[in-house]
A and B are shown apart, each in its own frame.
Chain A
Amino acid sequence: MNEDKRRQRTKMVTYPSGAVIPERDLGKSPVLECSHLGIEFGGLKAVEDFNLVLGRTEIAGLIGPNGAGKTTIFNLLTKVYQPTHGSVLIDGLDTQSMTVVDVSKAGVARTFQNIRLFGNMSVEDNVRIGLHNQIKYDMFTGIFRLPRYFSREKQQHEKAMELLDIFNMADLADAKAGSLPYGAQRRLEIVRALATNPKLLLLDEPAAGMNPHETEELMDNILRIRDSFQIAVLLIEHDMNLVMGICEGICVLNFGRVIAKGTPEEIQSNPVVIEAYLGKKKEAGQ
């Protein structure tokens, strides 16, 4: 995939409700609907009145200065935090009473800003753990090595290798996850998330610590994942090259509130966004 294709802009259309999604996702129910989502920590409103609708195969970006509440939103979507206001619908299902595990089963997978791999285990085992709810057998089958154990293990191995191949990591399958270089660990987290067979992939700063070459590769990979798995991607990123390059819709947060929403072009020319990012220096004393 090349630069030109990436730059090819998606046509965005507006729902009657006001939500904007890519034209190709029109007619399919949205994968994620947040309305008036908010959380307070002892009076501090970390996130307030957050509204977002994501199309089936949309790549969207969540940007904003440090401490704006981006990761908090991920934690709200995955129920690590219980929202104090508003609702989240995943594929039409209300997550009100769901746990973190339920959200994963409903089809949301995520990566973490500070990498959380199973460091003492092999790369392949990390992916196999991602397959936990995809290829199953029970404890007794595992302990007493019933025939099912061997067939399921084989399936897991094949699927894990297939997923690792997306990032050309199949030859690292036996390496210890904790000993991989930083960029490879970030990629492995994405593979592990994909193993859960998600409908929506949340990436928290996927390009952090990657060099420009690796970031370019990552951009191609995110697009390829979207196309081959037909899933939606919501990503938090500070690398504007990546955000502007692949995101179809962008949402800008500052102090827990959405200050702007739109296509990359609209965001780049939005005076409020420019102030939030560039004006920060001028108002640093505040």
Chain B
Amino acid sequence: MNAKKKRLIYNLSTYAIVVIAFAWCQFLLNNGGMTRSLKGQLVPICCWVIMAVSLNLVVGISGELSLGHAGFMSVGAFTGIILSGWLQNGMGMADETLRLVIAIAGGGLLAGIAGVMIGIPVLRLRGDYLAIVTLAFGEIIRNVMNCLYVSVEGRGLHIDFLNPSLPGKLLLNGPNGAVSVSKISTFTAGFILVMLSLFVVLNLTNSRSGRAIMAVRDARIAAESVGINTTKYRMMAFVISAVLAGMAGALYGLNYSTLVAGKFKFDQSINVLVFVVLGGIGNTMGAVVAAAALTILPELLREFSTYRMLVYAIVLIVVMLATNNPLLKQWFSNMTNRARGLVRRDKPAADGEGGNPA
């Protein structure tokens, strides 16, 4: 099997996993086979999957450790909420789907602008330094959002910093966050957005630009010596990733009636990084599966009530250790080979762990 064919199969199966999962969830929804709490998790799962796919672009494909990814999600979320609120209250737009589309596009756009602004200083750095500075920027974004007041009056929009006394209907109330947001996010929108982000990232990696990004990751000096503008391609990965995170943020923000900036703290960035690492750095399919699984896991662990997060942490440690165990890896690959062959005695191997296709 040649490399091209292998890549095609990998890409198609990544799309297939998402499509099958979506169809299965729809089936359960229609037949009442889904618990209330799980139903509430459907949109967030889509958001975290997109976050994992987009962070994987920076961490796995571009090879830069970014710890401020939740910041871009936050920019997207609040932009989406403001846009939607303005369109609804100011412009009188009743069509929820159109509002959601505009909010998501706006969230992505603003997060992209934030990505460019942050990328210019941050991408002068490398390695650990870059990681620390992205962490700082994530915190700056959160703090800025905490002090932002936005209101809509007539067709106009009032935006102020540290000043809560704005005329009209308040959309964003500083540290109290967004209030009475109209919940317009849908699971279908989430599914489409997941497919879109996969489409962008998978197609990018198999193109001239994507190869340049990976070249910079593998050997920066050699990439420069063949005429690749390293800053341009690191920036490209960083900004595309920010745009996708912003879109996920808008979807996430419009799924709740209230949202505070504290929701996008540093630990959320780390959470997304956990998805990427668990999925196998650089492995988009792995990131998708890990993000979905780890978002559902705390819900499934509800019966442990108080010890829920403790069990979650232990499960995480065990899974990380297990997936890095060479013996177990061998067993997994044997299982997949057997599944590919004629004898199908057992269930095929789980998809959480796999090789890097690049």
- Give complex CA distance A174, B6 in Å: 10
A143 to B226, CA, bound (A): 23
Contact status of A121 and B218, CB under 8 A, knowing A101-B227, A132-B227: yes
Chain B nearest CB from A88 CB (Å) reads 15
Write the B99-139 contact mask toward A (1 if CB under 8 angstroms, else 0). Answer: 00000000000000000000000000000000000000000
- B25 close to A (CB within 8 Å): no
Chain A min CB distance to B193 (Å): 15
Interface residue stretch chosen among B206-214, B257-265, B269-277: B206-214
Cβ–Cβ contact B214 & A105, under 8 A:
no
One of A105, A121, A137, A196 near B208 (C-beta < 8 A) = A137
> How many A-B pairs with Cβ below 8 Å?
103
Report the bound CA distance from A130 to B212 in whole Å: 10
Q: Does A112 contact B (CB under 8 A)?
A: yes
Given contacts A116-B221, A124-B3, A132-B212, contact A142 B226 (CB under 8 A): no
Report the minimal beta-carbon distance from A58 to chain B, rounded to whole angstroms: 21
Q: Whole-angstrom distance from the CB of A99 to the nearest CB of chain B? A: 8
The answer to whether B204 has its CB under 8 Å from any CB of chain A is: yes
Q: Is the CB of B219 within 8 A of A104?
A: no
CB distance from A82 to the nearest CB of B (A): 14
Residues of A with C-beta under 8 A to B224 = 99-101, 104
Q: Assess whether B227 is in contact with A142, with CB atoms less than 8 Å apart.
A: no
Q: Is B203 in contact with chain A by the CB < 8 A criterion? A: yes
Q: Does A152 contact B (CB under 8 A)?
A: yes
- Docked-complex contact A132 and B219, CB < 8 angstroms: no
Asked if A78 CB lies within 8 Å of chain B CBs, one says yes
Given contacts A101-B229, A174-B2, contact A116 B203 (CB under 8 A): no
A residues 182-209 in Cβ contact with B at 8 Å: 192-193, 195-196
Q: State whether the Cβ of B228 lies closer than 8 Å to any Cβ in chain A.
A: yes
List residues of chain A with CB within 8 A of the CB of B223. 118, 129
- Chain A residues in 8 Å Cβ range of B203: 142-145
How many A residues are at the interface, by size bracket?
A: 35 or more
Assess the A109–B226 pair: CB atoms within 8 A: yes
Are B208 and A152 closer than 8 Å at their CB atoms?
yes
Q: Closest Cβ of chain A: how far from B123's Cβ, in Å?
A: 16
Q: Kindly state whether residue B93 has any CB partner on chain A within 8 Å.
A: no
Q: Does A270 contact B (CB under 8 A)?
A: no
Please give the distance in Å from A178's CB to the nearest CB on chain B: 9
| Interface flag for A7 (CB, 8 Å) | no
Q: Give the number of chain B interface residues (Cβ < 8 Å).
A: 30
B358 at the interface (CB under 8 A from A): yes
Residues of A within 8 A of B4 (CB): 174
Contacts of A80 in B (CB 8 A): 221
B5 nearest CB neighbor, chain A only: A174
CB neighbours of B166 from chain A (8 A): none
Q: Does A122 contact B (CB under 8 A)?
A: yes
Q: Does A257 contact B (CB under 8 A)?
A: no
Q: Are A120 and B236 in contact (CB-based, < 8 A)?
A: no
Chain A residues 93-136 with CB under 8 Å of chain B are 99-101, 104-105, 109-110, 112, 116-122, 124-125, 128-130, 132-133, 135-136
**A139-B236 in contact (CB<8A):** yes
Q: How many angstroms between the C-alpha atoms of A144 and B203 in the bound complex?
A: 8
Q: Which of B208, B218, B226 contacts A120 (CB 8 A)?
A: B218
Q: Are A196 and B356 also in contact (CB < 8 A) when A116-B222, A120-B218, A129-B211 are?
A: no
How far apart sit A2 and B222, CA to CA, in the bound complex (Å)? 33
A-chain residues with CB within 8 Å of residue B214 when the two chains form the complex: 118, 120-121
Quick check: B358 and A109 within 8 Å, CB to CB?
A: no
Interface residues in chain B, defined as those with a beta carbon under 8 Å from any beta carbon in chain A: 2-4, 199-200, 203-204, 206-212, 214-215, 218-219, 221-229, 236, 356, 358
Known: A104-B224, A105-B227, A132-B215. 16 other contacts (CB 8 A): A100-B221, A101-B224, A101-B228, A110-B225, A112-B221, A118-B223, A121-B214, A128-B208, A129-B211, A129-B226, A135-B208, A139-B204, A139-B236, A143-B207, A156-B208, A196-B226
4 cross-chain pairs, A with B, having the tightest CB-CB distances, nearest first? A142-B207, A104-B227, A116-B222, A118-B218
- Some 28 contacts from A to B, beta carbons below 8 A apart, are A78-B225, A99-B224, A100-B221, A101-B228, A104-B225, A104-B227, A110-B225, A112-B221, A116-B221, A116-B222, A118-B215, A118-B219, A118-B222, A119-B219, A120-B218, A121-B214, A128-B208, A129-B223, A132-B227, A133-B227, A138-B209, A139-B236, A142-B204, A142-B208, A143-B204, A144-B203, A152-B208, A174-B4
